Chains A and B, each alone.
Chain A
Amino acid sequence: MARQQGWFALILALAIAAGALLASFPLQLGLDLRGGSQLTLQVLPSGRVKTVEKEQLDAVKDVLERRINGLGVAESTLQTVGSDQLVLQLPGEQDPSRAAKVLGTTALLEFRVQKAGTEAEMQGLLKLKRQVDAVLGLRKAKVAAAAPTDKPVEPKPSLSAEDLAKALTSLGLTVPPGASETDQLELLQKEVNRRIVALFDPSSLTGKDLVSAGRQQDQSGNGWDVTLAFNREGGEKFASLTQSIAGTGRLLGIVLDGRSISEASVGPEFKAAGIAGGSASISGRFTADEARDLEVQLRGGSLPLPVKVIEVRSIGPSLGAENVRTSLVAALSGLALVAVFMVVVYRLPGVVSVLALALYSLFNLGIYSLIPVTLSLPGIAGFILSIGMAVDANVLIFERIKEELRAGNSLIRSIDTGFSLALSSILDGHVTGLISCIALFSLGTGLVKGFAVTLAIGLLLSLFTALTCTRALLRLLMSYPSLRRSSYFLPLAQLPPAST
Chain B
Amino acid sequence: MTVTESPTPRFRISRHKRLAWWVSGLACLLSVVGLLVSWLSPGIGAPLKPGLDFTGGTQIQLERQCVLSDCGSITVDQLQAGLAALTLPAKAKEQAPSLASAKVQLLDGGQTLLLRLPVLEADQSQAVIVGIDRLAGPLKTTGTSVNTIGPTLGSQLLQGSLVSLLVSFAAIALYITFRYDRVFAFLAIVALAHDVIITCGLFAWLGIFFGIEVDSLFAVSLITVAGYSVTDTVVVFDRIREQKKALAQLPLIEQVDVAVDATLTRSLYTSLTTLLPLLGLIFFGGSSLFWFSVALAVGIAVGSWSSIGVAPTLLPVLSRR
Query: Quick check: is A18 within 8 A (CB to CB) of the other chain?
Result: no
Contact with A along B158-180 (1 / 0, CB 8 A): 00110111011001100110010
Known: A316-B141, A326-B286, A447-B220. 20 other contacts (CB 8 A): A313-B146, A313-B147, A315-B144, A317-B142, A319-B145, A331-B280, A338-B277, A377-B286, A384-B278, A385-B228, A395-B270, A417-B1, A436-B226, A438-B168, A444-B160, A444-B161, A445-B157, A448-B220, A451-B220, A455-B224
Chain B residues with CB under 8 A of A428: 179, 231, 234-235, 238
Cross-chain pair count, CB within 8 angstroms: 253
| Chain A residues within 8 Å of B, Cβ to Cβ | 32, 35, 39-40, 42, 94-97, 99-101, 190, 308-319, 322-323, 326-327, 329-335, 337-338, 341-342, 345, 377-378, 381, 384-385, 387-389, 391-392, 395-396, 399, 403-404, 407, 409, 417, 421, 424-425, 428-433, 435-440, 442-445, 447-448, 451, 455
Which of A309, A381, A389 makes the CB contact (< 8 A) with B231?
A389
Which of A96, A341, A433, A448 makes the CB contact (< 8 A) with B273?
A341
Scoring A318, A345, A428, A437 by chain B CB atoms within 10 A of each residue's CB, the highest score goes to A428
Contact B216 A448 (CB under 8 A): yes
Which of B122, B150, B230 makes the CB contact (< 8 A) with A432?
B230
Contact A436 B223 (CB under 8 A): yes
Interface of A is mostly: helix
Q: A313-B147, A425-B235 are in contact. Are A97 and B123 (CB under 8 A)?
A: yes
Contact with A along B263-282 (1 / 0, CB 8 A): 10110011011101111110
Chain B residues with CB under 8 A of A384: 277-278, 281
Q: A310-B150, A326-B284, A330-B283 are in contact. Are A429 and B231 (CB under 8 A)?
A: yes
Which of B63, B141, B217 makes the CB contact (< 8 A) with A447?
B217
Q: A318-B142, A403-B4, A403-B262 are in contact. Are A440 and B284 (CB under 8 A)?
A: no
Q: A312-B146, A448-B164 are in contact. Are A323 and B227 (CB under 8 A)?
A: no
Query: Quick check: is B45 within 8 A (CB to CB) of the other chain?
Result: no
Contact A334 B142 (CB under 8 A): no
Chain A residues with CB under 8 A of B5: 407
Provide the bound-state CA to CA distance between A331 and B279, in Å: 9
Look across to chain A and name the residue whose beta carbon is closest to the beta carbon of B1. Answer: A417
Provide the bound-state CA to CA distance between A335 and B278, in Å: 10
Chain B residues with CB under 8 A of A39: 122
Contact residue range for chain B?
35 or more
Query: Quick check: is B75 within 8 A (CB to CB) of the other chain?
Result: no
Provide a sorted-by-A list of 28 A–B residue pairs whose CB atoms are within 8 angstroms. Answer: A32-B288, A97-B121, A99-B122, A101-B122, A101-B123, A309-B150, A312-B147, A313-B145, A317-B142, A319-B63, A319-B143, A322-B286, A327-B285, A327-B289, A330-B277, A334-B279, A338-B276, A378-B217, A387-B277, A388-B274, A396-B235, A396-B266, A425-B234, A425-B239, A436-B226, A445-B156, A448-B161, A448-B164
Chain B residues with CB under 8 A of A392: 231, 270, 273-274
Chain B residues with CB under 8 A of A333: 280, 284
Which of A331, A381, A407, A433 makes the CB contact (< 8 A) with B2?
A407
Q: A310-B153, A334-B278, A341-B273 are in contact. Are A433 and B123 (CB under 8 A)?
A: no
Scoring B121, B172, B273 by chain A CB atoms within 10 A of each residue's CB, the highest score goes to B273
Contact A435 B171 (CB under 8 A): yes
Chain A residues with CB under 8 A of B171: 435, 438-439
Chain B residues with CB under 8 A of A313: 145-148
Contact B153 A40 (CB under 8 A): yes
Which of A95, A310, A381, A433 makes the CB contact (< 8 A) with B152?
A310
Chain B residues with CB under 8 A of A314: 144-147
